[in-house]
Structure formats: C-alpha cells, structure tokens
Amino acid sequence: DAGVTQSPTHLIKTRGQQVTLRCSPKSGHDTVSWYQQALGQGPQFIFQYYEEEERQRGNFPDRFSGHQFPNYSSELNVNALLLGDSALYLCASSPRRVGEQFFGPGTRLTVL
C-alpha cells in the first residue's frame, strides 16, 4: 500500500513565477491537507480539501490556492512567488475529514 506521495521532490523558481505542487493521498483516504514548513519551524496549516471543496483555510494569502480531483488527489498552486515562499510543502491525507493525518515526504520549493 503506497503512502502519501508528492511531486516534484524539489523545485526551483524565481520571484513572480507560479508553481503547482501535486499530492496523491494514501489509499482509502478522501481528505487532503497542505502545510508549509519554513526552515527551522514547525509546519503551518494552509488549507484542507474534502469532497473537492476547500473546507478550512489557515492564515495564508489568496496567492495560495488548491484543487481536489474526483480521485482525491490534490494540487497546491502558488502565484506571484515571493522569496518567503521558499519552504518544504507537506501534504497530509486522512481517511475522513477529521481522521488521523499521514504525511508525504514533501516538496522542497526554493524561490530565487
């Protein structure tokens, strides 16, 4: 049983560009949450998707958006990248909206 998978592993972008990160949840899980982890910090909640809708959002600007597909996979989009967006982006899935969360390995985004 594959766990949570994320792609790509690493990404380098320049300021002002746009980026899309992808996540496939663990088999049997229908809820995906996204977290941003800056260097030396704990993960911070970005938003959660369930039944293809954004259900809850953390304190992140509208430049951060997402999508969930019918197969429960998800994308995180960030527009107009800033240097401060450089971080490890973690995807977590759970078997239902409030279930235990399993994390993927993350995507390391570097903004130059």
Partner 1 sequence: AQSVTQPDIHITVSEGASLELRCNYSYGATPYLFWYVQSPGQGLQLLLKYFSGDTLVQGIKGFEAEFKRSQSSFNLRKPSVHWSDAAEYFCAVGASGSSNTGKLIFGQGTTLQVKP
Give yes or no for a contact between 65 and 80, defined as CB atoms under 8 angstroms apart. no
Q: Terminus-to-terminus CA distance in the chain, angstroms? A: 37
Per CB under 8 A, does 98 bind partner 1? Answer: yes
Report, in angstroms and rounded to the nearest whole number, the Rg of the chain calculated over CA atoms.
Answer: 13
Per CB under 8 A, does 95 bind partner 1? Answer: no
Asked, as a colleague might, if the bond just before 8 is cis with ω within 30 of 0, I would say yes
Per CB under 8 A, does 33 bind partner 1? Answer: yes
Contacts (CB under 8 A) with partner 1, residues 54-93: 55-56, 58, 90, 92
Residues that bind partner 1 (CB under 8 A): 4, 31, 33, 35, 40-45, 48, 55-56, 58, 90, 92, 94, 97-106, 108
